[in-house]
Homo-oligomer: A and B are copies of this chain.
Amino acid sequence: MPKDRAPTRIQKKNRAAILEAALNVFSAHGFRGSTVDQIAAEAGLSKPNLLYYFPSKEAIHTELLSGLLETWLAPLHDLDEDGDPMEEILAYIRRKLQMSQELPRESRLFANELVQGAPRIHEALSKDLKELVDEKTVILTRWMDQGKIARVHPYHLMFSIWALTQHYADFEVQVRAILGEEDPFEGADPFVDTLYRKLLTP
């Protein structure tokens, strides 16, 4: 294990390679379905060498999850109470959909964790996520009070946005099995736009 000085060039490169490889493997097979050997091979390292940079398989997984949680929640952070309500919400949705398209591995990493009861990020959910959602819920509710958007249950509105947008990454196989050659996001974008416009128009 490297000392806690400033990381060397090699440390930076290898740690990054490991996390990248782990993202591939964990998102495709889940925690228990992934092996350290697999990750090491994908990162171009030997197993002992990988374990020189991270103390354990679990440590890699934890670091991935906590490192990516911020990225994952960023779009919601950006929801601006001073912007136009409908446009702010639609922009959030569009950005979430874009993340499904561009970061499907991240989406599936979280999906794997959540489906199995989120044993490793339960705390982050009921603290960081809950806090952020509650903060934004206040804004949504105010908009509803002002008649700027239709009144709906704000939590369920949030759930629906997450469900709809992440569905395209998490259940990509199913989507592709139905759509065939058609590009999923080509149709998804106007669909969700229409859906939330109709739902939220007062």
Contact = CB atoms under 8 A, between A and B. Distances in A.
Contacts of A168: 159
B191 A129 contact: no
A178 B32 contact: no
A38 B178 CA distance: 35
A10 interface: no
A194 B188 contact: no
Nearest to A158: B178
Interface residues of A, number: 53
A199 B167 CA distance: 19
A115 B112 contact: yes
Interface of A: 28-33, 108, 111-112, 114-118, 122, 125-126, 129-130, 133, 150, 152-153, 155-160, 162-164, 166-168, 170-171, 173-175, 177-179, 182, 187-188, 190-192, 194-195, 198-199
30 contacts: A28-B116, A29-B32, A29-B116, A32-B32, A33-B33, A33-B116, A108-B115, A111-B171, A112-B115, A114-B170, A115-B170, A122-B173, A125-B173, A125-B174, A129-B174, A133-B178, A150-B198, A152-B191, A155-B178, A155-B182, A156-B187, A159-B175, A159-B178, A160-B164, A160-B167, A162-B171, A163-B171, A194-B199, A195-B195, A199-B199
